[in-house]
Structure 1
């Protein structure tokens, strides 16, 4: 399936004329507050404002005035994109009728239906959407802390300065040096992401530091698109990449940031760059709001993305525990449209269609060597369930891989237009 801007934008459920109900004159507009301006939150805010035709008071709370996409940031690491191409403003969303507040949400009072901001402001809501992305699990990698060590051993799994730092470190590696990645346990943001990153780092090193080595220490027995990545690594970067699974110590790793060492089952390995991608949980505000469970994620109703804890709260994207969908930008965008439709139905009496979801994750292995995996999904009483899936095949010809890569470029243009207007 070829995806482009028209396809992404066309996945809205209907036009504003069909879905919106007229407001009663003199009646206060229902208030929807969205926390988090990424693929889930930005899409939800924009669609709520657009498809309600002014019938809803929509506020988007996002700490950063410029959003840097985590998806496609690996291509910046590989030298295929400029950093600025990943950055997007909220001007289009604001122009579409959304009140954009650049501040940090620090509290949620679900009884009073208010959100508290770091600046002291209190924002009331009738419905609240939480789409804060990820945070890191404390102690996930022994010896490493996001607060203390991210400038020495960057995670670069929240795009922005961390992404730039990691690239500068790779570019400054000594000839023949070692790049190490500590891969995360399931579940985590963008299942193919760490392995696309390995590919992009290998591409960069092949140009500038061809005798360098890449060591991947992984707590998982398997990973997304493994056969495709390993085929590509053998074809393009033969002898450069070593993947170490849990059987050989990949799940028993400690780091020493101050000395740039990693310990694998007690054996010390000196490295030049270490990319630590730790275990993950829902963005902090979801826990503050009291909608997460012992897993660290926020359970939701599969037919609406509504929190299982509070009927007035919705949780989108990476933070949600919803079933089979991967934690990806495409998933969050898809879920946002379902949630926006549900909220319009509750607050404006608009028609609510049966929920359907979709996702595709593209990865670039080498120049014009793109692969993908994806599925369509439907809600069941227990979870969002995969009903049909696809994946690139090993052994595909170069022409097809080029088309797949070009398809991903069209998707990026489409989804960012869909998010930001």
Structure 2
């Protein structure tokens, strides 16, 4: 795969005109989309961009402002303002045939093909698209809870947690200790915890707090882009970051948010200046409550249509889906949305068939203008989505290539968010 291939699909582009004419049945097919993140919004945009008058679409999303989790590490590191990550749904709501409902889905009623919101309003559907993102597990680490997260934030969902984390980072003294607890697989954005550590180290370094230390307690024996991150840490932040795999720390035994203590099997870290706990994750709450999730916490889907294994009229995509070899990322969610929208068009308005293909690219910033990437192309194979090609940055890439990578990631972010919220 070439570098040009990595950037394919980086903007939200229409799939092209479908040759088959729409059939007239008196009323438009109803599509209900649960979740206004990338997966849900991209599905909506792919539907209306190719057939703007073909569907009645209802998007149900509790928040009126969407804050992207992707790129939020750059906010934590002081490289982007929070406002640059925030978007409203006003333009989408003005689209013909689109209704935006700011409410929470309380129940999915598959027998009636209906959803009910927390305020008791119901919406019927011909196809339901479920893209609720993730839920974090507040019970998997002894002593850490939803209340403890007010002092030891996860900042792995959009909202106020990233702001809390940035405020805490600003108060870390020179010589202070930061502990980051990384999550077990699978989780949202595999390189994300290590980019976050990089951005923490960047913020500490540019403010002169080079005596601070960051300890990563990881339940995994290896992590995404590991050689690239560790090379970058040694280059930009020598001696500041230490990564501990399970064989070194023997597991997290206890967390105490009141005393800012993290106890592992081999060592206890007391009076930490900051503790960032990124816990185990699962599909968003509504997907689990509706019985769409498997025992592993995510929703098993058909690899060619992303339909739930439990219901032929329900698609699940994005971070909530078990998408085989595909990582959980905004890029992947947009790629999956193309397939979901195409399947809906084929089945409800007899659009021409297009084979399902998927791609992903994930950039990570280690320091200013030092960006690395990993990418892949994927195809359905048997009962899962399988990676067929992969590409990754080289440790030998020159500085100008790393700077170009950052420019590509910024262009992708701008292109995607501009298209989603237009």
Using structure 1 for the length normalisation, give the TM-score.
Answer: 0.96
Once residues 87 and 7 of structure 2 are traced to their aligned partners in structure 1, the CA distance between those partners, rounded to angstroms, is 16
The question of whether the paired residues in 2 share the 8 Å contact of 1:90 and 1:420 is answered with yes
Partner residue in 2 for 1:8: 10
Once residues 88 and 64 of structure 1 are traced to their aligned partners in structure 2, the CA distance between those partners, rounded to angstroms, is 10
* Displacement after TM superposition at 1:160 (Å): 2.2
Partner residue in 1 for 2:404: 403
Once residues 19 and 52 of structure 2 are traced to their aligned partners in structure 1, the CA distance between those partners, rounded to angstroms, is 9
1:112-140 alpha-carbon deviations (Å, 9 max, x no partner): 11111112211111110000000012422
Once residues 181 and 364 of structure 2 are traced to their aligned partners in structure 1, the CA distance between those partners, rounded to angstroms, is 19
The question of whether the paired residues in 2 share the 8 Å contact of 1:375 and 1:386 is answered with yes
* Displacement after TM superposition at 1:51 (Å): 2.1
The question of whether the paired residues in 2 share the 8 Å contact of 1:183 and 1:278 is answered with yes
Question: How many residues end up aligned between the 2 structures?
Answer: 417
Partner residue in 2 for 1:269: 269
Partner residue in 1 for 2:211: 211
| Secondary structure, aligned partner of 1:312 | strand
Partner residue in 2 for 1:317: 318
1:48-90 alpha-carbon deviations (Å, 9 max, x no partner): 2232221110111011111110000001111111110001111
Once residues 173 and 140 of structure 2 are traced to their aligned partners in structure 1, the CA distance between those partners, rounded to angstroms, is 29
Partner residue in 1 for 2:384: 383
Partner residue in 1 for 2:192: 193
Once residues 38 and 2 of structure 1 are traced to their aligned partners in structure 2, the CA distance between those partners, rounded to angstroms, is 27
Structure 2 CA distance for partners of 1:347 and 1:157, relative to 1, 3 Å: same
The question of whether the paired residues in 2 share the 8 Å contact of 1:298 and 1:307 is answered with yes
Partner residue in 2 for 1:243: 243
Once residues 48 and 412 of structure 2 are traced to their aligned partners in structure 1, the CA distance between those partners, rounded to angstroms, is 23
Once residues 5 and 86 of structure 1 are traced to their aligned partners in structure 2, the CA distance between those partners, rounded to angstroms, is 21
Is 1:130 matched up with 2:130?
yes
1:80-105 alpha-carbon deviations (Å, 9 max, x no partner): 11110001111222233321111111
* Displacement after TM superposition at 1:254 (Å): 2.4
* Displacement after TM superposition at 1:23 (Å): 4.5
1:203-223 alpha-carbon deviations (Å, 9 max, x no partner): 001122221110100000000
Bigger Cα displacement from structure 2, 409-418 vs 48-57: 48-57
* Displacement after TM superposition at 1:5 (Å): 9.6
Is 1:86 matched up with 2:88?
no
Runs of at least 5 residues in structure 1 that lack an aligned partner in the other structure: none
Structure 2 CA distance for partners of 1:180 and 1:20, relative to 1, 3 Å: farther
Once residues 298 and 79 of structure 1 are traced to their aligned partners in structure 2, the CA distance between those partners, rounded to angstroms, is 35
The question of whether the paired residues in 1 share the 8 Å contact of 2:130 and 2:287 is answered with yes
Runs of at least 5 residues in structure 2 that lack an aligned partner in the other structure: none
Structure 2 CA distance for partners of 1:45 and 1:351, relative to 1, 3 Å: same
CA RMSD of aligned residues (A): 1.7
The question of whether the paired residues in 2 share the 8 Å contact of 1:153 and 1:257 is answered with yes
Partner residue in 1 for 2:304: 303
Using structure 2 for the length normalisation, give the TM-score.
Answer: 0.95
The question of whether the paired residues in 2 share the 8 Å contact of 1:6 and 1:414 is answered with no
